[in-house]
A and B are shown apart, each in its own frame.
Chain A
Amino acid sequence: MLPANLNSCIAVKLNIKPQQFFRVNEINVLACSTTGKQASGRPLAGWVIHAAFESPATDYEEDRISLDDYVTRHPEAVFYIRVTGDCMTGSGINDGDLLIVDRSLTPLKGDVIIGVLNGEHIIACYMELDSKQYLIPDNPAYKAIKIEQFTAFSIEGVVPHTLLNQRNQANVRANRLQQFLCKL
């Protein structure tokens, strides 16, 4: 036999009232202690129901959408960087934005890439023309760079996604929208 206070022990652990637990019989409790390992990310409630009435949806449980899975297709090859400066504003990359760098991707024309030019990291748009490589800042305020034959340059990775901090822009946007409202 199980000790009399076991239900209340479990109830305390699960943070519910012991009365809610009255349907739990011996077998269910045993099942719950062997199989009911609380997996991370799963709600604790599912665990309780499991002991009394099993959820009709248990067989249909799927993993929650994970941004990590979506962005990092090759977790071994993905690194993060932060950009300072304004040379990529045309591609929606602003000062302080977080970039995802995937080293497994092959750069195509027009990709945003991270490279090393003369021993220093560089972020730019990658272009090819007449089998020559170019690094182009996406901001008309800067000049493009042509990669000559003996330039010390290598591509480190492609930037497939960027994280733009919309809240950092809130002030600027508010000012802009203010004018729009005035026109109404």
Chain B
Amino acid sequence: MYALIDCNNFYVSCERVFQPELRERPGVVLSNNDGCAIARSQEAKDMGIKMGTPFFQIQQLQQEGKIWWRSSNYALYQDMMRRITGIIGEYWPDIEVYSIDESFCDLKSFSYHDIETMAIQLRHRIRQYTGVPVCIGIGPTRTLAKVANRVAKKHFADGVFMIKDELSRLFALKKLPIEDVWGIGPRNAAKLMNVGISTAWDFASINDYEYVEKRFTVTGLRTWYELRGTACLPMEFIQPDKKGINTGRSFGEKTDDYHTIEDALSAFVQNSAPKLREQGSLCSRIQVFLMTSQFEVVQKRKSAAWQMDIAIPTNLTQELLKYARECLKHIYRPGYPYQKVGVYLTGFIPEANKQLYLLDDQSNRERLAAVSKLADKLNKHFGKDYIRFASMGYEQPWKMRQNFLSKRFTTRMSDVLKISLHPAFIRTD
């Protein structure tokens, strides 16, 4: 059996734990740069606010009723997720963190336990310990666990649903539109609709293995097996090392100023390099891209990228900065309203098998590596960009817009929640 534990409206729930005035009111959490809604409270969903609704439209709603919004506070969400993962791990130790708000658990060591009761207890515990509501779906395969989770969320007040027999499988699959099945993309969904298959149940009931494989390739076949109760997707307990690291973001405002763009690029390189060091890789290829908005008039539209092989693979911020800047020089042209710059690091090789080079000053490299390691440690402790290179700039006009950021209640002593005298307390005199 597998379980999927999924947090309800995770970002919104995290905000509400520390800001009770937001509870029971519609609200959204905005994307990087405060561009659009990426998480919605149930009340906001009921109001018809869609995923990705632009911020200005939400602001208009404010005049009509009470809706709140916050910038995304990833430091807070990450810590809350760490807490939830810890609680799950005490119950079901074989855990795979699938995304920031979803975790799979392999329950094969619990075959003699009452899994449903455990799930109800676990859900209650997560709610009590962290304040974040979750739903738990259980099924014989990962896909069915995901289906069960959806049923739990939609139809069951206690937030737990288990596909334990044929009847519960039928109940769950009959209700599930084919396009919402995990692993069925929009194109396959359209194909299936064409042949009259509209629910997951219809798909799972196809009795022709060869037909499924021919029409929907191996991915479709795997989903088909999983829906029928044969597990094909193994758990991934250890996250595979990244093959490439891509960091790029829109500027707060469009710009054609070379120095602003360079500062932003430097910042992204400095964001990526610690990730590289953390997984113990060296980067041998760097790519920088620079683009204007695609909605710009044609004469003002520009998009360019430059790629460079690094002779001596490295994970040192200093060296990567040098290469990134060189790339940027190749593609930058003045006079365009640039909106986005980014860097893509790839061609990773493990640090352990690095080659030594004849003409390379190894001792200096070791010193720089020690500095980077220390800087990474300090930044983890004191917050991002505590130690940084001057090339990131000081004014940072390109910086993300995060005008509605809540505090980092759990990771910064200076941001700890303050509780003042409650207005309901009245003086006796």
Q: Using a CB–CB distance below 8 Å, which chain A residues touch chain B?
A: 74-77, 79-87, 98, 103-104, 114, 116-124, 137, 140-143, 145, 156
List 4 A-B pairs, minimum CB-CB distance, nearest first.
A85-B421, A77-B129, A122-B422, A76-B83
B421 to A87, Cβ gap below 8 A? yes
Q: For B424, what are the chain A residues with a Cβ–Cβ distance below 8 Å?
A: 117-118, 122, 145
B421 to A104, Cβ gap below 8 A? no
B428 to A123, Cβ gap below 8 A? no
Nearest chain A CB to B422's CB is how many angstroms away?
4
Give the interface centre of B83, B424, B427 by most chain A CB atoms within 10 Å.
Answer: B424
Contacting A116 at CB < 8 Å: which of B20, B416, B420, B425? B20
Q: For B421, what are the chain A residues with a Cβ–Cβ distance below 8 Å?
A: 84-87
Q: How far is the CA of A151 from the CA of B129 in the complex (A)?
A: 23
Contacting B428 at CB < 8 Å: which of A81, A98, A114, A143? A143
State whether the Cβ of B409 lies closer than 8 Å to any Cβ in chain A: yes
B83 to A121, Cβ gap below 8 A? no
Q: How far is the CA of A143 from the CA of B425 in the complex (A)?
A: 6
B87 to A76, Cβ gap below 8 A? yes
A121 to B417, Cβ gap below 8 A? yes
State whether the Cβ of B131 lies closer than 8 Å to any Cβ in chain A: yes
State whether the Cβ of B406 lies closer than 8 Å to any Cβ in chain A: no
A82 to B427, Cβ gap below 8 A? no
Nearest chain A CB to B104's CB is how many angstroms away?
19
A104 to B425, Cβ gap below 8 A? no
Q: For A75, what are the chain B residues with a Cβ–Cβ distance below 8 Å?
A: 83, 86
Give the interface centre of A76, A117, A124, A156 by most chain B CB atoms within 10 Å.
Answer: A76
Q: For B48, what are the chain A residues with a Cβ–Cβ distance below 8 Å?
A: none
- Mind listing 20 A-B residue pairs with CB under 8 Å? A74-B129, A77-B128, A80-B413, A80-B417, A81-B416, A82-B418, A83-B418, A83-B419, A84-B418, A85-B421, A87-B421, A87-B425, A103-B130, A103-B131, A104-B128, A120-B20, A121-B419, A122-B425, A124-B425, A143-B426
Give the interface centre of B21, B422, B428 by most chain A CB atoms within 10 Å.
Answer: B422
Contacting B129 at CB < 8 Å: which of A103, A114, A122, A143? A103
Nearest chain A CB to B406's CB is how many angstroms away?
14
A81 to B130, Cβ gap below 8 A? no
- Since A82-B419, A87-B421 are in contact, a sample of 15 more A-B pairs with Cβ atoms closer than 8 Å, ordered by chain A residue number, is A75-B86, A77-B129, A79-B409, A79-B410, A82-B417, A83-B420, A84-B418, A103-B128, A103-B129, A114-B419, A120-B20, A122-B425, A142-B425, A142-B428, A145-B425
Task: Given the known inter-chain contacts A119-B20, A119-B21, A121-B422, please indicate yes or no for A82 contacting B416, CB distance below 8 A.
Answer: yes
Q: Using a CB–CB distance below 8 Å, which chain B residues touch chain A?
A: 20-21, 23, 83-84, 86-87, 128-131, 409-410, 413, 416-429
Contacting A122 at CB < 8 Å: which of B87, B419, B427? B419
Q: How far is the CA of A67 from the CA of B422 in the complex (A)?
A: 30
Q: For A82, what are the chain B residues with a Cβ–Cβ distance below 8 Å?
A: 416-419
Q: How far is the CA of A103 from the CA of B424 in the complex (A)?
A: 23
Nearest chain A CB to B119's CB is how many angstroms away?
18
Q: How far is the CA of A74 from the CA of B20 in the complex (A)?
A: 23
A142 to B427, Cβ gap below 8 A? yes
B21 to A77, Cβ gap below 8 A? no
Q: How far is the CA of A28 from the CA of B416 in the complex (A)?
A: 49
B130 to A76, Cβ gap below 8 A? yes
A141 to B130, Cβ gap below 8 A? no
Nearest chain B CB to A139's CB is how many angstroms away?
9
Nearest chain B CB to A177's CB is how many angstroms away?
30
Q: How far is the CA of A118 from the CA of B129 in the complex (A)?
A: 21
Nearest chain B CB to A147's CB is how many angstroms away?
10
B419 to A84, Cβ gap below 8 A? yes
A119 to B23, Cβ gap below 8 A? yes
Q: For A85, what are the chain B residues with a Cβ–Cβ distance below 8 Å?
A: 420-421
Nearest chain A CB to B409's CB is how many angstroms away?
7
Q: How far is the CA of A165 from the CA of B418 in the complex (A)?
A: 16
A76 to B86, Cβ gap below 8 A? yes
CB closest chain-B residue, reference A81? B417
Q: For B84, what are the chain A residues with a Cβ–Cβ distance below 8 Å?
A: 76
Q: How far is the CA of A104 from the CA of B128 in the complex (A)?
A: 7
Q: For B422, what are the chain A residues with a Cβ–Cβ distance below 8 Å?
A: 87, 117, 120-124
Q: How far is the CA of A122 from the CA of B420 in the complex (A)?
A: 8
Q: How far is the CA of A108 from the CA of B86 in the complex (A)?
A: 26
A79 to B423, Cβ gap below 8 A? no
Task: Given the known inter-chain contacts A119-B21, A119-B23, please indicate yes or no for A81 contacting B419, CB distance below 8 A.
Answer: yes
Q: How far is the CA of A119 from the CA of B419 in the complex (A)?
A: 13
Q: For B427, what are the chain A residues with a Cβ–Cβ distance below 8 Å?
A: 141-143
B416 to A84, Cβ gap below 8 A? no
B428 to A141, Cβ gap below 8 A? yes
Q: How far is the CA of A80 from the CA of B419 in the complex (A)?
A: 11
Q: For A86, what are the chain B residues with a Cβ–Cβ distance below 8 Å?
A: 421
A120 to B426, Cβ gap below 8 A? no
A76 to B129, Cβ gap below 8 A? yes
Nearest chain A CB to B15's CB is how many angstroms away?
14
Q: For B410, what are the chain A residues with a Cβ–Cβ distance below 8 Å?
A: 79-80
Q: How far is the CA of A116 from the CA of B426 in the complex (A)?
A: 17
